[in-house]
A = this chain, B = another copy of it.
């Protein structure tokens, strides 16, 4: 068996499948998703799905693996040479943009992690852990230089992740509370989060 070199045709179909799979996995979790559902969403037959991805697990893995890079980009862009406040403000913005434009991807990961991350624990303890360690060091330096209030850098990152991804992962709750038609949601979120993270609740002067 020679490794099948992806023809354009094949690549297109794979992309179509992964898009459908992302729809379904992000909405129902791995167990809740069915190949029937994905096949429907992709507009093709179930066996044909399995012609491209050997198993349901395989499809899920391809999604997770393919998206992890995208998911870490905003943090990778955090620049040690930049102004700390502006760097973090920009990071929050980028993360919020991702939650806004890629909510399915966010929920895909959230589903996985909440259920114990059986399929991506390796990635978490590897790639993610290492990137966090690197960037935490950057933040630690900023704090040491008094350019940032003293803060635990890792827990700061947790807080940024949690608050931004909240708008993707807990969308139905956000909508239930704000009303589903609140179009300004992300703008208000951005203003609020920036204000909170940078200046806090306690009135200054």
Kindly report how many copies of this chain are found in the complex they form together: 4
Asked if A154 is an interface residue, CB under 8 A from chain B, the answer is yes
- Report the bound CA distance from A169 to B161 in whole Å: 12
B172 touches A117 (CB 8 A): yes
Size of interface on A: residues with Cβ below 8 Å to B: 64
Most buried by B among A125, A132, A199, A201: A201
Which secondary structure characterizes the binding site on chain A? helix
When distances are taken between beta carbons in the complex, the residues of chain B under 8 Å from A204 are 149, 204
- Give residues 90-126 of A contacting B (CB, 8 Å): 107, 110-111, 113-117, 121, 124-125
A173 touches B85 (CB 8 A): no
- Report the bound CA distance from A154 to B192 in whole Å: 10
